[in-house]
Copies of this chain bind each other. A is one copy, B any other.
Amino acid sequence: MVTVKEIAAAAGVSPSVVSAVLHGSRHVRMSEATRALVLAKVEELGYTTNFAARSLRTARSGVLAVVAPKLSNPVFTPMLDGIHDAAEERGYVIMLAEAMRLVDGSRMLERILGHGQVDGTILRPNADLDSTGVRSVLQREAPVVVLDEVPDRAQPWLAIDDAGAARVATEHLLELGHTRIGFLGGWLGPHATFRPREGFRHINLRRLDGYQAALRAAGIEPRDEDVIESDYAASAGRAAVERLVALRDRPTAFVVNNATTSVGVVAGAIAAGLRVPDDLAVVAIHDIDVLADVTPTISAVRMPMYELGHAGATLLAQAIEGETISSHVLTSPPPELRRRETT
């Protein structure tokens, strides 16, 4: 490989000058002719920076780690796109670990988060990422920005307005005249192992809060039996609906906590002979492309996942670069209702 030293020799200058030309550093000033000559030699000899050497010297790698549960969940792809774009804007590249794919005793996380490898980490934790896994990430000395949850420690975090999203969904159903509205999907209890900071609640609990607040604001007392827990698979939504139709007394509409689950809920309702939306109305939290493509199309609250990823990566870059940053709930854009055929 061509090195700085070789470029320097070819151009008849010192390595310092080559380095300065390459970085536009103003510390070392050189004539325009020298600059042009160095650049010509760089081109001619095909010099490219050795990033390992630069990292060692500067103690900066220019790499951000992204640790997320599972990319096959379509809810996360816009978030990853946002991280990707923000990283590119700021000159970083991305290293990836899907936490739920890491087998027991995996060294991949250590390998990625190891000293000198990445400048910081974006962590989107989830209930299945056990606390030791989360803790190992949070204990790194490199900055960590936590998305979607509010950590116990001093790490910066960024969340979206989950309570607001559930409120928007519930209010939409209230406006349509529903008075018996259920909340379906996600684990609310012991499976939510991530321990948030005092005074904050787990993502699913925040959504439950928004749902209940909207009901109460309409003068309706929330019922515990209308809250149905499940995992996020479409089959879980389907199974929940099948149990539901056996009941005489049941909600006429559901806020479904997850886009994938909502596809199963609608399929289950149709299979059970219910008309959608007449017999059962559905609004999903999280909009994904396929909701606008299926029959019937599914109403959803669009969550700013792209923006969350973009803002999170930007926040991380700022933390790495020593700027002061502030954790907060993203308020713009707000969760947005997209009404379709299921309401």
Contact surface of A with B, Cβ cutoff 8 Å:
1, 48-53, 55-56, 61-63, 71-72, 74, 77-78, 80-81, 84-85, 87-88, 91, 93-98, 101-103, 106-108, 110-112, 114-117, 234-235, 238, 260, 263-264, 266-267, 270-271, 289-290, 292-295
Q: Is the CB of B95 within 8 A of A96?
A: yes
**In the complex, which of the residues B74, B81, B102 contacts A88, with contact meaning CB atoms closer than 8 Å?**
B102
Q: Copies per complex?
A: 2
Contact A114 B49 (CB under 8 A): yes
Contact (Cβ within 8 A) A101 B115 = no
With contact pairs A56-B53, A263-B294, A295-B270 given, residues A111 and B91 touching in the complex (Cβ less than 8 Å): yes
**Contacts known (A93-B108, A107-B91); A52 close to B61, Cβ less than 8 A:** yes
With contacts A48-B115, A56-B52 known, is A71 near B63, CB below 8 A?
A: no
Distance of A95 Cα from B95 Cα, bound (Å): 4
The 8 Å CB contact of A77, one of B62, B72, B102, B103, is B72
Shortest A68–chain B CB gap in Å is 12
A116 touches B62 (CB 8 A): no
A109: nearest residue on chain B (CB-CB)? B93
With A49-B115, A84-B101 known, 8 other A-B pairs at CB within 8 A are A49-B116, A52-B61, A55-B55, A81-B98, A93-B108, A93-B117, A94-B96, A270-B295
Residue in B49, B63, B84, B292 whose beta carbon sits within 8 Å of that of A98 in the complex: B84
